[in-house]
Amino acid sequence: MSLLSFWKKYERDTVSQRILERLEQTPDRLYARVHIGDATHSISYRRLAEGAAPYAAACAQANLAPGDRVVVLKEQGPDLLYAFFGAMFAGAVPTILAPPSPRQDPAHFWRGHREVMERIRAQLLFTTPKLKTELNSFPTGHDIAAVTEEDLPTASKLPIPDTSSQDVAFLQHSSGTTGTKKGVMISHAALLHQVDAYARRLGLSEDDHIISWLPLYHDMGLIACCLLPLLTGVPVTMISPFEWTMRPTQLFDLIERTKATLVWQPNFAFQHLINCVRPDDDWDLSSVRAFVDCSERCRPETLDQFASKFGPMGVRKSALHTCYAMAETVFAVTQSEPGTAPRTETIDTQALIDEGVARPTLDTHATTSSVLSCGKPIEQITVLIMDEEGNRLPDRRIGEICVSGPCLARGYDRQPEKSSRVFREGWYHTRDLGYLSNGELFVTGRIDDLLILNGRNHYAHDLEFSLRDTSGIVPGRVIAFSEYREDLGSDVLIVLAETRETDTAALKTIKKNIRDRMLDETGLVPSSIHLFAPMWLIKSTSGKISREATANKYNSPALEEGLT
């Protein structure tokens, strides 16, 4: 039986057309192998079409018009893939939102998701029976039909949408906290240019195999580890993000078993794997030609430790790579050269902070910073460094990273004011700080994370990184920010951290360790240090600590008492 309701060759290049070409040419080729618990689901292009067809039929049954928004709210697994692509084949615009975590308050979760669904005027929600019941308890301000797998109509044929390359293919919601999420509008043309250009930069071939634990509601998971393999014919093995959190070394088990060649993950995941491996653990990781560090500032110290720890297991330093990416450019802006370790520069810290210049210096200099190259821009992408007035800065001058090219998003869905602030005259103004050197991009921080303390500039993430090995702190669960003190007439440094300790003497020691480490590493003494139980700090959906939301919580009149 045909999987297509009709076949029509389009001159217009779209995601659905590319999938259909794969389906016609290699219907039984493996697309994805999804591991959920003890079960493994193998998905060919034929099985993807069969699974997506009922979801496309549900969109037709709901009388959705072309371009109507559809929210997909499911745990990671085959059904999430079927729902996403089914909506796309129906001519709708799908968006994947993060499901609630077990510890998340349902009222808080639905308040944020209701705001998103109302703003984008979602017409349909593909979800689970449990979440459908919860939605009925926390109704939205507009009508939205919730459809579960049990509600799907019977269908076996995929429609072919009458979409063009300039139409919006999907929304990628940013990893802000709840109501701050922005729906990035990604066109078919932008996505396909990204896939083609990035595949060429990576030297991707059908002999490659991607492995990923990344959630599909995040751009790194959706683009690099879902759409890139789908559209290039490269198989991918997916692990549940929740299960990876419970046992991170499952990633290494599957690398060894599948002989995977490509892995993407953020910097914190590299550090987490370093910390959780036991001395007697051993894997063969030599098949991986690229571990790509992406989506937060790449740290040379972390990659050095990773190479040292896993070098005996076959990880080559030349297989550790960096990428500068964001949803507003679909994904990758730059990528380090395959087969070559990215360049690390040692620069004068004071010149960086006081003069805004990346001045190379020797390691023996009094204060230095190591900055890792994120590589050169991918094909047809232009990166410039601009000052506050929008003037182009020369090499080695620190300024805002601005990006232009065919991968640029169409803006934020139904948020014209936010769009106009950062998408200006063909450029996306990232609010990231960095510099260029010999065509390579080096990222130094974010404009929003710049703290002025004692009249000098400091990057909040550098202060947090200085505390990474402090005994007693939950790894990665610390933030630094400033607040104004009227009695001093200036900003002071506040440090918040999580700990599992409850003993009074132990807590006192942890605070002393934080103060001593901060002074030794940065020359700063925190005005206040507060310790909280695990899960107190607020995370974004990408797993990063949200500095702004946590600072607001700290300053809230309803602040819960901390441990100290």
Alpha helices in 165-220 (DSSP H): 188-202, 219
At 51-99, the pLDDT tens digits run 999 999 999 999 999 999 999 999 999 999 999 999 999 999 999 999 9
The one-character DSSP state at 224 is: I
At 257-302, the pLDDT tens digits run 999 999 999 988 998 899 899 999 999 999 999 999 998 888 899 9
Instruction: Provide, for the chain, the percentages of residues in helix, strand and coil under a 3-state DSSP scheme, each rounded to the nearest 5.
Output: 35, 25, 40
Q: Are 515 and 526 in contact (CB under 8 A)?
A: yes
**Angle at the Cα of 296 from the Cα atoms of 291 and 297, rounded to 5 degrees:** 90
Confidence of residue 562 (pLDDT cuts 50, 70, 90): low
Q: Does the pLDDT at position 179 exceed 80?
A: no
Helix 45-61 to helix 78-89 angle, to the nearest 10 degrees? Answer: 60
What are 348's two structure tokens?
A: 């004068």
At 460-475, the pLDDT tens digits run 888 898 898 899 999 8
Q: Which residues contact 409 (CB under 8 A, 6 or more apart)?
A: 172, 184, 185, 186, 187, 190, 327, 328, 329, 330, 423, 428
**Angle at the Cα of 189 from the Cα atoms of 336 and 147, rounded to 5 degrees:** 105
Neighbour-count burial for 41-56, b at 16+ CB within 10 Å, e otherwise: bebbbebbbbbbbbbb
Q: Containing H/E element for 302?
A: helix 300-310
Task: Report, as an integer, the average pLDDT of 336-344.
Answer: 96
**pTM of the complete model:** 0.87
At 469-528, the pLDDT tens digits run 899 999 889 999 988 776 666 688 999 999 999 999 999 999 999 999 888 877 788 999
Query: What percent of the chain stands above pLDDT 70?
Result: 93
Which domains, and CATH codes, for the chain?
15-200 (3.40.50.980), 247-447 (3.40.50.12780), 454-554 (3.30.300.30)
